[in-house]
Amino acid sequence: MIKIYHNPRCAKSREALQYLEEKNVPHEVIKYMEEPLTFEALETLLDALGMFPFELIRQNEQIWKDEFRDKDMDDNELIYLMVEYPQLMQRPIVENNEQAVVARPANRIDEIL
Annotated catalytic residue 10: yes
Is residue 107 within 8 Å of residue 16, measured between CB atoms? no
Catalytic pick among 10, 29, 30, 41: 10
Return d(Cα 33, Cα 55) in angstroms, integer.
Answer: 19
Catalytic positions: 10
